[in-house]
Chains A and B, each alone.
Chain A
Amino acid sequence: MGSLGIYIKLGSRNLWLHPARTLLTMGALVVGLAALTFLSALNDGWLQNMKENFVMTETGHIQIHANGFQDSQQISDAILKPEKVFAALEGKPGIRAWTRRVSTSGLASAAGANAGALIIGIDAEREAKVSRFREFLSSGEWVSGGDARSLVMGDVLAEKLEIGIGDKVVLMAQTPSGDLASEVFRLRGLLHSGVMNIDNMMVMIPIEPAQNWLELGSGITNIVIRTDSFKSVDQVTNTLKATLQGEDLEIMRWMEIDPMAQQWTEMADAYTWIVLAVVIIVVLAEVLNTMLMSMHDRIREFGLMGALGTQGSQLFAMMIWETVILVTIGGLLGYGLGAWISAYYGEHGLDLSAFATAFSFMYMSPVVHPLVTLENAVRIIGAAIVGAALAGIYPAWKASRLDPVEAMREL
């Protein structure tokens, strides 16, 4: 048996001999690590939740427009023959779902009042797989391709126009040639989302009537794509850019469409780093504490060993190995515990609505699903093991420098 084997044996036996102390030390590590894991998963979970909700409400993961549309928002910048683009999307890996829209700004008017509106013609079937607008239906019925005059609008807008479900609404907008065109629709349902853009301004109608009214033929203004995950966005974008090269299109990722969203995300990420860094420091400090204490309590023991001929370097090695074993087991246990709790709530969701009313607005739902990722696992366990090992160095070093006689005298 090599010396390594001896150290391991010795280390584990030492730990075993003092169950209380060992348990306490490991306990600190386990609790700390479990908490850290859970925290990190919680954070990832809610950030992910927000990002997803945002993308499924506002922008989609990727959008395709005619070149220049994002800035101008004018219907004259429409994709008049989108069939080629649709063909390019079929079967592309990484695309979970896509939909087409006709969007323009215009006037919504009723007998009592009128107001500017953001009018979107949607393909109801496809839209349901890409965005969450349907979730915002607070009363009435959704837009239906079968009901060519069906219309859904934000509840605040309906209030402004002084209309209720069943009333008619005249929409007026410009066609690509610049002519004014009006069309009448009936309010079938109301939207409530908490997002001002939607509640105060949004009007949705089925896409074919929109195309007829605005004299677009089969033309559209937006193609909205939902990818499998945030990670595949870049790759899908590049593939599409390559396939659709030469068509006069702009293919934009969600953060290009709304830079504010990305700012928030980056800020949240930076935040997370700082928070986790501090928490790791706290955990390690607690572990260091415990180990210092434990080491101190064994001073006479070390003195005895030294008197019996153990070299300082051997003591050092033994301590280090003890630490390593302790930390490995404790680390894995701690991570395991934390991951298990996170996974449990990941399944069932953690209802945070008790904590703050602010949780159910905008892009948050009060039920958070902690997210356990491999990336984080590596980060956390790695940090813990490295840190705890470092924490063990000082005590080990001190132990190795002990003067046996003085040590034995320590009370």
Chain B
Amino acid sequence: MLIAMAWRNIERNFRRSLITVFAIALGLAALLFLWGFNDGVHNNMMRNLQQVIVGSVQIHAADFFKRPKLTRDIRNISEITSVLDELNIERRALRIRSFALAAGIETSRGLMMLGLNPNQEANTTRIAGKVTKGRFIRVGDANACVLGATTAENLKVKLGDDVILLAEDRYGSLAAEKFELIGIIESGEMGIDRGLVIVPMNFMQQMLGMEGRYSEVVLQLDGGQLEPVTAALRARLVPQGYEVLRWYDMYPVMKEWVDLENGFYYIFLSIVLLIVAAGVMNTVLMSMLERVREFGVMMALGCGRMRIASLVLMESMMLGGMGVVTGTGLGMALISYYHHHGIDMSEMMDSVQRFYIDTVIYTEIDMDHLFITVVSVLVAAALASLVPAWQAARLEPVEAIQHLG
């Protein structure tokens, strides 16, 4: 009964209702869009980090990441590959890693030497695409190497030159080889450009006496798979003496940055919520102002105060509900549109390609952000209409009827 009345009131004041719904819808749509933008940027960054070289998850011998040593290698690779096969993880790459010195004429530079299998890498990461001069390593290469651009500059070597790399082999002896520089990587990320040398895995294993041995297994997973796969792998592999690390366990800075920005976003959004609530309260109060005489008459005819209040509240809730639905629809439509077309930020940023952040942002929204936002707006709209409802309940019928509005 109350519902029917509320609905009829809404219909009667169509214009007013529309305006109120519009206020809510716009606010919500804006909030959703902002999240879409935010999540789009963050997910883009995090995906890039994983996809270029780090991978989503890495598996090593226990404690390897903190204390990397050539001899802290994976004891039995089939223990790991069998679990990966079971879990149906296809995008994987095996690697071997060691600290090395690139010997210059008078001085040497420390580097991280990474032995990769080109086929596995192509399936798992995009590092091959970061080569700007020359080429990436290929199947069949022996003592070829790819260097970061800054390192190549510092060593004063160009394509075709020899690079001498020294490393400790498995027995602690010095292993040294001459490599031909076949490719240069320019990524914009200092850790790669100034710290890495990539060589064919087979050759490096042989050079260091590590035939058939590996330092790490790198996996590339889709966003939703990350946590469940990690949990499954940890359950099986940690008891066997391995460590399973997600990208943000290894390089927490980016995730911390994302959390930080999300934190700020929540603050922003609370403020925007405030604005929306104020707007809603305004419109409801205004409409109430108009209907003071109406309420007065109703009360004079015997309608109780509580009833009046609940009527106002019900109306607001229905308007709120419609506003939320419209707003969600509108917001998601916006997100979906820009998901396909992207937002071009290159004017606002330098148009130089960033390593982690692309200049065109494709919006997407995380489910929990969506949920929280919609619920918050609903709650805010409800709360905002409490005041007018309470006001309505306090009206004196006679004064109300005489109100001139």
Q: Which residues of A contact B (CB under 8 A)?
A: 20-21, 24-25, 27-28, 31-32, 35-36, 38-39, 42-43, 46, 71-74, 105, 116, 174, 178, 259-260, 263, 266-267, 269-271, 273-275, 278-279, 281-283, 285-286, 289-290, 292-294, 296-297, 352, 355-359, 361-362, 364
* Segment of B53-61, B122-130, B259-267, B298-306 engaged in the interface with chain A: B259-267
Q: Determine the interface band of chain B, counting residues with CB < 8 A from chain A.
A: 35 or more
Contact with A along B337-352 (1 / 0, CB 8 A): 0000000010011100
How many residue-residue contacts, CB under 8 A, span A and B?
143
B283 touches A46 (CB 8 A): no
Q: Is B274 an interface residue (CB 8 A)?
A: yes
The distance from the CB of A400 to the nearest CB of chain B, in whole angstroms, is 18
Contact of A355 among B33, B263, B271, B348 (CB under 8 A): B263
Q: Known A-B contacts: A74-B107, A293-B282, A358-B257. Give 15 more (CB < 8 A).
A: A32-B275, A43-B264, A71-B153, A260-B190, A266-B349, A267-B357, A270-B345, A274-B37, A282-B27, A289-B23, A292-B19, A297-B286, A297-B290, A356-B262, A357-B259
**The 9 A-B residue pairs with the shortest CB-CB distance in the complex, in nearest-first order:** A286-B279, A356-B263, A358-B259, A270-B348, A31-B278, A358-B260, A285-B26, A289-B23, A266-B349
Q: Are B268 and A28 in contact (CB under 8 A)?
A: no
* Cβ–Cβ < 8 Å partners of A105 in chain B: 110
A75 (CB) vs chain B CBs: closest residue: B107
Task: Determine how close the nearest CB of chain A comes to the CB of B134; give it in whole angstroms.
Answer: 21
Q: A275-B268, A352-B263, A356-B260 are in contact. Are A174 and B286 (CB under 8 A)?
A: no
Is the Cβ of B107 less than 8 Å from the Cβ of A293? no
> Complex Cα distance A297/B41, Å?
44
Which of A28, A38, A352 has the largest count of B CB atoms less than 10 A from its CB?
A28
B282 touches which one: A24, A178, A282 (CB < 8 A)? Answer: A24
**21 A-B contact pairs sorted by A residue (CB < 8 Å):** A28-B282, A35-B271, A35-B275, A71-B154, A105-B110, A178-B107, A263-B354, A267-B41, A269-B348, A274-B37, A278-B30, A279-B268, A286-B23, A289-B283, A296-B16, A355-B267, A358-B256, A358-B259, A359-B260, A362-B253, A364-B260
Kindly report which residue of chain B lies nearest to residue A26, judged by CB atoms.
B282
- Residue B86 CB within 8 A of the other chain: no
Q: How far is the CA of A392 from the CA of B268 in the complex (A)?
A: 27
**Minimum CB–CB distance for B296 against chain A, Å:** 16
Q: Which residues of B contact A24 (CB under 8 A)?
A: 282, 285-286, 289
- Name which residue of chain B comes closest to A355, CB basis: B263
Instruction: Say whether B374 faces chain A, with CB atoms less than 8 Å apart.
Output: no
Within 8 A of A (CB), among B349-401: 349-350, 354, 357
A357-B282 Cα distance, complex, nearest whole Å: 36
Complex-state Cα separation, A275 to B260, whole angstroms: 16
Q: Once the chains are docked, how many angstroms separate the CA of A358 from the CA of B254? A: 11
Judge whether A286 and B278 touch: CB under 8 Å.
yes
Known: A21-B286, A286-B23, A286-B276. A178 touches B260 (CB 8 A): no
**B34 CB–A CB distance under 8 Å:** yes
B267 near A279 (CB under 8 angstroms)? no
Per the 8 Å Cβ criterion, residues 189-237 of B in contact with A are 190
Q: How far is the CB of A251 from chain B (nearest CB, A)?
A: 20
CB neighbours (8 Å) of A35 from chain B are: 271-272, 274-275
Q: Is there an interface contact between B27 and A286, defined as CB atoms closer than 8 Å?
A: yes
Q: Which of B92-123 contact A (CB under 8 A)?
A: 106-107, 110
A296 touches B15 (CB 8 A): yes
Cβ contact within 8 Å between B26 and A282: yes
Do B153 and A32 touch across chains, with their CB atoms under 8 A apart?
no
Per a CB cutoff under 8 Å, which of A28, A269, A279 touches B278? A28
Find A31's partner among B253, B263, B266, B274 (CB 8 Å cutoff): B274
The reply to whether B275 and A31 form a contact with Cβ atoms under 8 Å apart is yes
A259 partner residues in chain B, CB cutoff 8 A: 188
A290 and B354 contact, CB distance less than 8 A? no
The complex places the Cα of A183 from the Cα of B389 at a distance, in Å, of 79
Cβ of B30 and Cβ of A281 under 8 Å apart? yes
A273–B348 CB distance below 8 A:
yes
Residues of B within 8 A of A270 (CB): 345, 348-349
Inter-chain contact A263/B30, CB cutoff 8 Å: no
Q: How far, in angstroms, from A237 to B218 measured CA to CA in the complex?
A: 45
Report whether B289 and A20 are in contact in the complex, using a CB–CB cutoff of 8 Å.
Answer: yes
- What's the Cα separation between A364 and B257 when bound, in Å? 10
* Inter-chain contact B348/A286, CB cutoff 8 Å: no
The CA of A289 and the CA of B282, in the complex, are separated in Å by: 9
What residues of chain A lie closer than 8 Å to B19, measured between beta carbons? Answer: 289, 292-293
Q: Are A282 and B267 in contact (CB under 8 A)?
A: no
Residues of B within 8 A of A174 (CB): 107
Residue among A282, A290, A352 making CB contact with B276, cutoff 8 Å: A282
Q: Quick check: B33 and A21 within 8 Å, CB to CB?
A: no
Q: Is the CB of B286 within 8 A of A282?
A: no
A14 CB to nearest chain B CB (Å): 15
> For residue A260, which residue of chain B has the nearest CB?
B190
